[in-house]
Structure 1
Amino acid sequence: MSVVPQEHQERIPIWQVLFDDFFLLFLLGVAVPFVFYTVWGLIDIGSIPTAKPIVISASVAPPPAGALVVETTMSEFKFQIAQTSLPVSKPVRFNIANKGGIEHEFIVEKAGAVNQPLKSDGQSAKTSIVPGASGYLDWTFAEPGQYQIRCHISGHYEAGMVARITVR
């Protein structure tokens, strides 16, 4: 057995040692932190606060003088309207609450129309309301007839989100 004296041993450059131990470095630099982060995240997941709906609060203008106020609720995928027979030539305020978990549109159209909101003086009879929020739409129907309130967000109307109203 031959022993090489220490002064004759070849020195290995540090980069070669590190390169030879790539797997060890990978394990220490990437895998171990990933495991700790994942485990810590799973253990601490109970302390993550749940999201609360954002309620938009704004001062609401009073309804037009002599307006009929109609309470309306939207949810998945329906409208609940307190009154479906409305007067012609009299202001109507639709107070609209979105009780659903997703955004909905409130569009007033002639019965059978497809995404053609009523228009008057440059205004359209439509609004969108985010979940948990409320809003309103003021409208005066100029003509008697059959109308519909509809949500045109993709798939909502097809799921039955339409209500019929009569203006007399």
Structure 2
Amino acid sequence: MKLLRTLVASALLAAPAFALAHEAHTPRAAQAALPPEQQAWGIAGEPGAVRRTIDIAMTDDMRFTPSVIEVREGETVRLRLRNRGKELHELVLGTRATIDEHAEQMKKHPTMEHDDPWMAHVKAGQTGELVWHFNRPGDFDFACLVDDHYELGMAGRVHVRPAR
């Protein structure tokens, strides 16, 4: 019994550290009740504010087409993602550092589920989307972190030009 209490206490003490190291991901259904959270690369956009849709194809040759997109600071865009392959793909927006960090976490926890507004999973042959408000100028990245897709080159760049 003492061993069981020790194990339970250890697990409870480790849980907050694991959650912090693992990043908390809030399911999209629960996000609707939360205000959007500002990220270095922008903030979740409102569908009614979209003025442009950018189509991005995802393929099993581990490529995004186009792999570079350009937007203007303050623009809200719909990224329409078409998975033209037979494998699951995703698009995760971020900085190079956040994507690299998330990729490492995915290697340690390959079954980790997440559904943040800056990422979209798209099953084979399906279409998905995300709406993003690019409210900061700069160069940002996107990648597919499924399995080893990122390491195989499935990445791209968003160039956000300053507002006029």
Is TM > 0.5 for Structure 1 vs Structure 2? yes
- CA distances 1:112-160 after superposition (whole Å, capped 9, x unpaired): 43228xxxxxx53001000000011100012111111101112000010
Distance 1:106 1:66, change over 3 A: closer
Alignment of 1:52-67 (within 5 A): 63-67=47-51
1:143 to 136, 144, 154: 136
The 1-side partners of 2:83 and 2:47 are apart by: 19
Q: Which has the larger radius of gyration?
A: 1
What SS is found at the alignment partner of 1:100?
Answer: coil
Q: Distance in 2 between matches of 1:155 and 1:106?
A: 14
**What runs of 5+ residues in structure 1 fail to find an aligned partner?**
1-61, 117-122
Alignment of 1:21-100 (within 5 A): 63-76=47-60, 77-81=62-66, 84-100=69-85
Q: CA RMSD in A?
A: 2.3
Q: Alpha-carbon deviation of 1:66?
A: 4.6
Give the Cα–Cα distance (whole angstroms) in 1 for the partners of residues 72 and 63 of structure 2.
Answer: 23
Per the alignment, do residues 66 and 107 of structure 1 end up closer, same or farther by CA in structure 2, a change over 3 Å counting?
closer
Identify the match of residue 101 of structure 1 among 53, 68, 86.
86
User: Per-residue CA shift, 1:74-117, capped at 9, x if unaligned?
Assistant: 0120100286111111111011100011000111111343228x
Q: Please list every run of at least 4 consecutive aligned residues from structure 1 whose deviation after the TM superposition is greater than 4 angstroms.
A: none
Identity among equivalent pairs (%):
26
Provide the aligned length of Structure 1 versus Structure 2.
Answer: 102
The one-letter code of the counterpart of 1:73 is A
Structure 2, gaps ≥5 residues long: 1-45, 104-115
Paired letter, 2:80: N
**TM-score (norm. length: structure 1):** 0.55
User: TM-score scaled to structure 2, two decimals?
Assistant: 0.56
Q: What is the CA–CA distance in structure 1 between the aligned matches of 2:117 and 2:49, rounded to whole Å?
A: 20
